[in-house]
Amino acid sequence: MKKFVLHCIIGLIIVFILDFGIGKGLEYFYFKQTSGFQHRTTYSIEQTNEDILVFGSSRANHHYKTDVFEKKLNSTFYNTGRDGNFIFYQTAILRSVLKRYKPKLILYDFAGKFSYDEGDYDRLSSLLPYYKHHPEIRNIVDLRSPYEPFKNVSGIYPYNSTIGNIVIGNVNIEGMRTKANKGYVPLFGEWKEPIALYDTVKPYEADENKITVFKEFLDLCKQNKIPMIVVVSPIFYNYESDYSIALCKKLCDEKKVPFFDFTRNTDFLKAPYLFDDISHLNDDGATLFSDKVVDLVKGKLKNQ
Q: In the complex, what is the shortest distance from the CB of residue 107 to another protein, in angstroms, rounded to a whole number? A: 28
Task: Tell me whether residue 115 or residue 125 sits nearer to another protein (CB atom).
Answer: 125
Task: Tell me whether residue 9 or residue 301 sits nearer to another protein (CB atom).
Answer: 9
How far is the C-alpha of 252 from the C-alpha of 248, rounded, in Å?
Answer: 6
Task: Tell me whether residue 49 or residue 160 sits nearer to another protein (CB atom).
Answer: 160
For another protein, the binding residues (CB under 8 A) are 1, 3-4, 7-8, 10-11, 14-15, 18-19, 22, 118, 122, 125, 145, 147, 150-151, 154, 156-157, 159-161, 163-165, 168
Q: In the complex, what is the shortest distance from the CB of residue 21 to another protein, in angstroms, rounded to a whole number? A: 10
3-state secondary structure of 64: coil
Task: Tell me whether residue 21 or residue 299 sits nearer to another protein (CB atom).
Answer: 21
Q: In the complex, what is the shortest distance from the CB of residue 270 to another protein, in angstroms, rounded to a whole number? A: 26
Q: In the complex, what is the shortest distance from the CB of residue 282 to another protein, in angstroms, rounded to a whole number? A: 20
Could you tell me where the DSSP H helices lie in the chain? 2-30, 37-46, 58-63, 66-73, 87-100, 118-122, 138-141, 148-151, 163-171, 208-223, 243-254, 266-269, 283-303
Contact partners, residue 172, CB within 8 Å, separation at least 6: 34, 35
Distance of CA 287 to the CA centre of its chain: 20
Q: In the complex, what is the shortest distance from the CB of residue 9 to another protein, in angstroms, rounded to a whole number? A: 12
Task: Tell me whether residue 165 or residue 233 sits nearer to another protein (CB atom).
Answer: 165
3-state secondary structure of 104: coil
Work out the number of other CB atoms within 10 angstroms of the CB of residue 156. Answer: 19
Burial (CB count <10 Å: 0-12, 13-18, 19+), residue 19: middle
User: Which residues partner with 259 through β-bridges?
Assistant: 230
Task: Tell me whether residue 164 or residue 194 sits nearer to another protein (CB atom).
Answer: 164
Q: In the complex, what is the shortest distance from the CB of residue 101 to another protein, in angstroms, rounded to a whole number? A: 33
Among the listed residues 233, 228, 263, the one whose alpha carbon sits nearest the alpha carbon of residue 109: 233
